[in-house]
Chains A and B, each alone.
Chain A
Amino acid sequence: MPTKIKKIAKPVEEKPVTPAKSGRKIRLMQGNEAVALGALDAGVNFFAGYPITPSTEIAEILALELPKRGGVFIQMEDEIASISAITGASLAGAKSLTATSGPGFSLMQEGIGFAKITETPCVVVNVQRNGPSTGMPTSPAQGDIMQSRWGSHGDSPAIVLYPDSVKESYELTIRAVNLAEKYRTCVILLLDEVIGHMREAVTLPDIANIRIVSRIKPTIPRHWYKHYDENQKYLSPLASFGEGYRYNVTGLTHDALGFPTNKPNEANDMMERLRKKISYNIRDLVQIESREMEDAKIAIFTAGITARAAKSAVAAARAEGIPVGLLRPLTIWPFPDDAVRKMLRNVETVIVPELNQGQLIHEIRRLTKDKQDGNLIPIQRANGTLITPNEILRIIREVH
């Protein structure tokens, strides 16, 4: 009997992902919900993850919404598989994202390193909970500030964003996706448990007003393509699998085509590329909020939910006539060295409140020699409760 040759299935056509239409009117929204909507508006069309408190709502919403818009949602067997899946999907052309918390973030570190060395755009959202290990799943902590920078082994650059409100969670999710695409790297969005679960009234901007960045595609003939080619700002085009451009993807140190190498000069080229694409673009990457800093003699330096307590304390202290201000990084990595140096020059005392046993403060110490003891004041706590405005205000009054 003659065999009937069946036509092999054609490659699936990429369906356009239509952006979220859900309410552009003011409405009550949770931080995690804002992240999910931000991801949809940024054009994320692939999510792979393993739900974990306090990030679960992100997966929950995307599981409902992505399939409706032609995107893909996969619940994986664990977090190692999740980070691997989003990296693979990205190489196939998707804008991909995953969401997790402490224990899952630890498991993802190897995969984050792989995404960085292979220069594959993707976003990991880490809604931080109290740790170490399983810790207190429903309680806040800011214990992953250093892990988000140094968690993966080897020298690797990091872009880490850190919102302090529901609205900003939406905005920084879009920015995280944009930066991942632009810089071809794994961008991390850190949230605090309280921000992930907090509800605030938010009006989302019109889709037309949102700036969306997508990876540069190669336009040169296929045989000229280098997967890790350099241009002036160390940003290079990225071809997707299946588009006809050939390249190798490996976690081993590689040359411009992606093939493994042990040659010191080629290894050096790769490592310098990874470093320079961040360090040559600090201005584009760093964002800070400066509040009442013009005449401040006391400065508070903090991020995320703790900055909300600090803002309240600053307003109360200003009402008492105390010259205090707040410097808040929205991008915590790369660290805003210049802004912090300026702050250190202008104020007498810096207060660094954080929900851990001392992480951000090390970066301030790195940048100052003379504000080590009495003039650099930590407020640290890792017991699952927030630092309150009154605690900060009390310290401000003592210093003043």
Chain B
Amino acid sequence: MSKAHEIRLSGSGGQGLILAGIILANAAVIEKRRVTQTQSYGPESRGGYSRADVIISDKEIFFPEATRFDILLALTQEACDKFIFDLKDKGILIVDNTQVKNISVMSEHTYEVNFTELVTEKLGSPITTNICSLAFLVKITGIVKEESLKQAIAGSVKPAFLDLNLKAMQLGFELAVNYGK
């Protein structure tokens, strides 16, 4: 992969999207690639909008925010409505259909998965939805290696929660297998 990849992870505050963005960026650093990670969020700590942008490239990255996305992850309806028009023509759209019920423009590569429901059902709480959906994104797109993601998770979450997060990662990988990846 030689061109720049622009990835936007979007949803609402408290869903852990900025942490997911940091983990993805760390995975890229592990692979010695160029990366910038930026974010935008409201003043509230829960609720409100939240997004994390990650740009991964092999060349110098000038503008650090994603403007035309190669990959868009939307965990809420609001985020999906707001950002879908900036997805590139052949871009990959991943939505959590626990919350996203309407997709105004269907991308050729659209993946609808009920992440929140599945994570709550299998792991007892929706708290690791961010990691599960990120792992799904990584497996589907191959943007970084699975092993790099695992290392980045280990380096970013508290040891007490590592096991839970790795289970969520595994669940994300397994879900991707259903789509032939």
Contact = CB atoms under 8 A, between A and B. Distances in A.
A and B held together in a complex: yes
Interface string B13-50: 00000000010011011001011111111110000000
A308 B63 contact: yes
B117 interface: no
**Interface of chain B, main secondary structure:** mixed
A270 to B, nearest CB: 44
B174 interface: no
A155 B163 CA distance: 61
Contacts of B29: 26-28, 201
Nearest to B18: A197
A199 B37 contact: yes
Contact of A199 (B22, B32, B43): B22
Contact of B42 (A138, A197, A312, A389): A138
Given A28-B26, A308-B62, A198 B37 contact: yes
Nearest to A202: B29
A311 B62 contact: yes
A194 B63 CA distance: 11
Contacts of B36: 198-200
Identify whether the interface residues of A are mostly helix, strand, loop, or mixed: mixed
Contacts, number: 60
Contacts of A311: 62-63
Interface string A370-394: 0000000000000000101110000
Contact of A194 (B22, B38, B41, B43): B38
Nearest to A312: B62
A315 interface: yes
Interface string B100-121: 0000000000000000000000
A194 B65 contact: yes
Contacts of B43: 53, 136-138
A239 B43 CA distance: 45
Contact of A197 (B28, B39, B62): B39
Could you say which of B26, B36, B43, B63 has the most chain A C-beta atoms within 10 Å of its C-beta?
B63
Nearest to B65: A386
Contacts of A53: 43
Interface string A119-158: 0000000000000000011110000000000000000000
A194 B55 CA distance: 14
A200 B35 contact: yes
B39 A389 contact: no
Contact of A309 (B34, B37, B42, B63): B63
Contacts of B62: 308-309, 311-312, 315, 389
Interface of B: 22, 25-26, 28-29, 32, 34-43, 62-65, 67
22 contacts: A26-B32, A28-B37, A138-B40, A194-B65, A197-B39, A198-B36, A199-B35, A199-B36, A199-B37, A200-B36, A200-B64, A201-B29, A201-B34, A201-B35, A305-B64, A308-B64, A311-B62, A312-B62, A388-B63, A388-B65, A389-B62, A389-B63
Which are the 8 A-B pairs with shortest beta-carbon distances? A312-B62, A311-B62, A199-B37, A312-B63, A201-B29, A389-B63, A198-B38, A309-B63
